[in-house]
């Protein structure tokens, strides 16, 4: 199939583009490179630099390329920034998706896989979290992603678009080749922050809150390897290509690890003491966030294979220790 990956120069997008190439698909990547990296795009993929808010750019792209399906990663994704600057997120995430869907309707494209987030749920009602649970986001990032899902739903009813929305939890790790990985600026994810200590980029890592109702008092999260996420997107494309109805799926390991467990595993992998500093809780951090991915396994046939925390951190460390400054161009 010929698959367009929007935001394919970003962290999860580049790993998905690479897995698509390895699976024998023809891959077209479009990215505005605001947060993405040109060198993260697979050499076998055709690349277009442009913005999904630019209707003329999308028309030119859809005229030039025969596209069978779209995978949509193009969005801003920093929770804290979204609270401080909500309109930036509504403009890029929501308005950008509206322009994209108009272009898809104009060009008769009817299949899209969407990179959503666990942030659509907000404070969880149940653990593990089910797709049918209440959605009540606690920040504009999650709010825009939820609104994008609803935009796909209503566009589907009006124009025959079929979509899969993948709500994932803590993406982490790096491709086994060590050639691509996570490189955010600023970095906000726990595992890269921890690995900055053995890389000489920071003296210690902070633990925000040690008095949660968890076995060791620190927050528990569901960590999922980026390559397993990439495989889920490929399976979702196949599901739509085979006539599957629009649907929403959680993606996680179903296993929660505490902040202390992640730090201890990183110490083991890197053989570095990694000093940790205990600090007060951050506002809005739930004690536990763990997904049920049984629906994705049952319907899509998804089977995460890189599910050990040690393997996840080892793959991340393989990237970070050899690329301490991320990608060379930034």
Section 47-67 average pLDDT? 98
Section 257-264 average pLDDT? 98
Give 61-68's long-range contacts (Cβ < 8 A, gap of 24+). Answer: 61/4, 61/28, 61/30, 62/103, 62/104, 62/106, 62/107, 62/109, 63/107, 65/2, 65/4, 65/28, 66/2, 67/2, 67/3, 67/4, 67/28, 67/107, 67/109, 68/1, 68/2, 68/3, 68/111, 68/241
Residue 53 lies in a domain: yes
Residue 328 lies in a domain: no
Which residues on adjacent β-strands are paired with residue 165? 114, 248
Catalytic pick among 48, 89, 141, 257 = 141
> Do 32 and 148 have their domain in common?
yes
pLDDT range class, residue 257, cuts 50, 70, 90: very high
- % of the chain surpassing 70 pLDDT: 99
Section 138-144 average pLDDT? 94
pLDDT range class, residue 330, cuts 50, 70, 90: very low
Section 288-313 average pLDDT? 96
The C-alpha atoms of residue 178 and residue 156 are separated, in whole angstroms, by 39
The C-alpha atoms of residue 51 and residue 60 are separated, in whole angstroms, by 12
Residue (of 56, 51, 31) closest to 41 by Cα position: 31
The CATH number of the domain holding residue 198 is 3.90.25.10
What are the strands of the beta sheet with 162-168, ordered from one edge? Answer: 46-49, 26-31, 2-6, 69-72, 111-117, 162-168, 247-251
The C-alpha atoms of residue 298 and residue 289 are separated, in whole angstroms, by 21
Over 80: is that where the pLDDT of 202 sits?
yes
Report whether 14 contacts 36 (CB < 8 A): yes
Residue (of 272, 150, 106, 149) closest to 202 by Cα position: 272
Report whether 112 contacts 69 (CB < 8 A): yes
pLDDT tens for residues 273-297? 999 999 998 877 888 999 999 999 9
**Number of structural domains the chain divides into:** 2
Residue 66 structural domain = 2-172+224-251
Over 90: is that where the pLDDT of 118 sits?
yes
Instruction: Give the C-alpha distances (Å, rounded to integers) separating 306 from 23, 221, 258.
Output: 18, 16, 18
The C-alpha atoms of residue 239 and residue 243 are separated, in whole angstroms, by 7
Section 103-126 average pLDDT? 95
pLDDT range class, residue 151, cuts 50, 70, 90: very high
Residue 119 lies in a domain: yes
Residue 127 lies in a domain: yes
The CATH number of the domain holding residue 50 is 3.40.50.720
| Active-site residue flag, 163 | no
pLDDT tens for residues 175-192? 999 999 999 888 889 999
Residue 178 lies in a domain: no
Over 70: is that where the pLDDT of 23 sits?
yes
> Do 195 and 316 have their domain in common?
yes
Cis peptide leading into residue 322 (ω within 30°): no
What mean pLDDT, rounded, does the chain reach? 96
> Do 270 and 128 have their domain in common?
no
Q: End-to-end distance of the chain based on CA atoms, in angstroms?
A: 32
């Amino acid at each position: 199939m010929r698959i367009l990956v929007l935001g394919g120069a970003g962290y999860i997008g580049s790993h998905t583009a690479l897995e698509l190439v390895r699976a024998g698909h023809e891959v077209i990547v479009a990215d505005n490179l605001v947060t993405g990296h040109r060198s993260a795009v697979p050499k076998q993929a055709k690349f277009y630099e442009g913005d999904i808010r630019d209707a003329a750019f999308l028309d030119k792209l859809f005229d030039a390329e025969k596209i069978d399906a779209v995978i949509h990663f193009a969005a801003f994704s920093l929770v804290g920034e979204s609270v401080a600057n909500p309109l930036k997120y509504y403009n890029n995430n929501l308005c950008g998706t509206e322009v994209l869907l108009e272009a898809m309707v104009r060009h008769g494209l009817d299949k899209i896989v969407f990179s959503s987030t666990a942030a659509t749920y907000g404070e969880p009602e149940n653990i593990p979290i089910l797709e049918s649970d209440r959605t009540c986001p606690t920040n504009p990032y999650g709010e825009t992603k939820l609104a994008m899902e609803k935009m796909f739903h209503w566009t589907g009813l009006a124009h025959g678009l079929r979509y899969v929305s993948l709500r994932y939890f803590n993406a982490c790790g790096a491709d086994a080749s060590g050639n691509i990985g996570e490189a955010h600026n600023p970095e906000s994810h726990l595992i890269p922050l921890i690995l900055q200590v053995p890389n000489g980029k920071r003296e210690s890592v902070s633990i925000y809150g040690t008095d949660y109702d968890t076995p060791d008092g620190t927050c528990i999260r569901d960590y999922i390897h980026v390559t397993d996420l990439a495989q889920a997107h490929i399976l979702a494309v196949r599901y739509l290509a085979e006539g599957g109805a629009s649907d929403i799926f959680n993606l996680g390991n179903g296993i929660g690890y505490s902040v202390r467990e992640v730090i201890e595993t990183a110490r083991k992998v890197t053989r570095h003491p990694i000093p940790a500093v205990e600090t007060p809780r951050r506002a809005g951090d739930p004690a536990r966030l763990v997904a049920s991915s049984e629906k994705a396994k049952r319907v899509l046939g998804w089977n995460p294979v890189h599910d050990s925390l040690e393997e996840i951190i080892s793959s991340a460390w393989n990237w970070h220790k050899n690329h301490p400054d991320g990608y060379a161009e930034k």
